[in-house]
Structure 1
Amino acid sequence: MRKDPLLRFVLILFAGFLFFCALYFAKSILIPLSFSALLSMLILPLCKKLEHWKFPRWLAILSCFLVAIIIIGAFVTLFIFQVISFTDNLPMYKELINSKIGHIQRFLEGLIKVSPKDQTAFMKEKMSGFMSNGGEYIKVAFVETTGTFATIGIVFICTFFFLYFRDRFKNFILKIANPIYEEKTRMIITASSKVAARYLSGVFIVIIILSVLNSVGLMIIGLDNAIFFGISVAILNIIPYIGVPIGAVLPVVMALITRESLWSAVGVIAVFSFNQFIENNFLTPNIVGNKVNINPLATIIVLLIGGNLWGVSGMIIFLPFLGVLKITLDHVKPLNPYAYLISTDETETSILSRIKSLFNRKK
């Protein structure tokens, strides 16, 4: 293999293909385990703090679970109430949509010379398949929802045992590693755990702040169900670059339906654009930090891979795992070029850092 670079490249390519095949076909097992690993990294600092205060390990873990459930439960409960409020207004929105469709049909009649009756018949024909399979869609949605709750239970159980047996996992990694690199291996384990914990806790804080900013901005515009849309778009911000544009589509459409002026829709776009600017340049660099400083190209590639292999779960999970991988690459000298390839210069991560550098330069 050393004498034949082509053979080495082919074998590496084949190994990579097998690796991604394994990720795809084992996703039903790996997705809950991955969420459990990330959640355990998130809870670990608080768990260690409680153990330092003489809590038994099992009690410290359960106490962390209780805190997490209270915080996440309050957030989810608020969101559910907003969803209920939104669904209660659907009949009103239906009338507004029918009114808007009437205007559009009359416009199309003058443009393409097709009567509203023919347009309605065409729409009914296209919708008939969806309506006839509506029961099947509801059944699939119910099964998916039930599966989600079962997965959440598995995630919490696995997280408990990941935290409870964490010393065993750490010793296992140290045993299989070369004894010469034991100190470096310990550094990698500690750094990876810290970066994952800071990343996940920071993301959650940013979601809360964005939920408030989005909701307040939409309330100022006067959009109905502003809190519902504000929280929805903030949650989708987990998916870099594309989450916010996708989430903004529905509130923009609702602004077009419920308001006569186009300026309401423009205002919605302006609110999300401004908040996205604040998040990219001030919130994320200072709350999440620059430890997961992955460049945009690597981020997009990881999102594409994660989305194709594990769907939305992959788009959420793969990025923090890439950050953990980068920590490993940074600490292993032969792999430093790969860390450099996927990273970005910390001084270029935000406008705030540039302002700080200019201020320090003037000093």
Structure 2
Amino acid sequence: MILKGETVILEKIEKNFAETAVVRDVSIAVQAGEFLSLLGPSGSGKTTLLMMIAGFEAPNRGRISVGTRDITFEAPNKRNVGMVFQRYALFPHMTVAQNIAFPLRMRRCSRAQARDRVDAMLAMVRLEGFADRLPQQLSGGQQQRVAVARALVAEPPVLLMDEPLSALDKKLRETMQLEIKRIQKRLGVTVVYVTHDQEEALTMSDRVAVMADGELMQVGAPIDLYHRPANAFVAGFIGKMNFLEGEYIGHDGDEAVIRLSQTATVKCPISSATAVAGQRLTVAIRPEDLSVRPSGDVRPGGFKGRVEAALFVGAAYVVLVAIDGRAGEVVEARLPANGGSLPLVPGDIVDVFAEPSAVRLFSHQQRQAA
């Protein structure tokens, strides 16, 4: 079974509840067959946006279209979109096969056609042999697969998913992420997926739309959001980030120099620094982009510090370093374990360095707002 995914276009969508704006002027174009995640903290507006696509909420302003159809104010059952809810919403008195067949019954499909489609979906979600079981006889992951099969059995071009894995444990959640992505790629359906889990969004998505306070912060491929965040909110929300307040003091060749303290500086490409001398800026550096070594002569763009903690976390060591000249301020470095022991212990004086290309700058006011 191959589905023909369709585009989903959101144009200047706004939604208010009473006097509160929960979605503000959001425009997104989801391509046919694309997996797009709406990512953000609680209250960011992502679920409300999904509910407007599904038809369970109506926008106060804007337009929603699927393919060439304007569905802004269509009833949910007329939109031809599949929906997977956070709590699965399976009928407890129906078997797995009956749950999957339910949308086909509503469309008055013949019994033979329904049976063929249900069998095909059971094979797709790897639940052959489970047709006669009740939902309570299934694991959480199996129930989730039934919910996905039911949403897809009527062959919708668009599948909407509202935090469908949040109730599962970490290991099962990771397995289901790959399973849902496998099914989506095989079928070619367009998916709009809501999650607050950054890792989940990065793992599953072709593109991610990051939201905060009802506004769209950035839309892009996972690698772009991670390495080229558009603002301080995205930088801090996607993965881990060290934020340090600094002062632009000039440039060294083609690199800008940012002072963190009287004895600590970092560098970044001068194209990233549009500041004037003396301007306060926020420096952002990923933990894995910091190198830490026993103290020697600090290279330009690095600084000294004292190891506060060194923790083994499996594939890496997490090292917390207090910055020289910045009382109480600590950076986190993540160093590959590579099967060996870390030659650092709390109290060691170390040199910390980041390649200039890994350093991001944001305005001081922007960081405060974020």
Q: What is the TM-score when the length of structure 2 is the normalising length?
A: 0.20
Higher relative contact order (CA 8 A, sep 6+): 1
Larger strand percent: 2
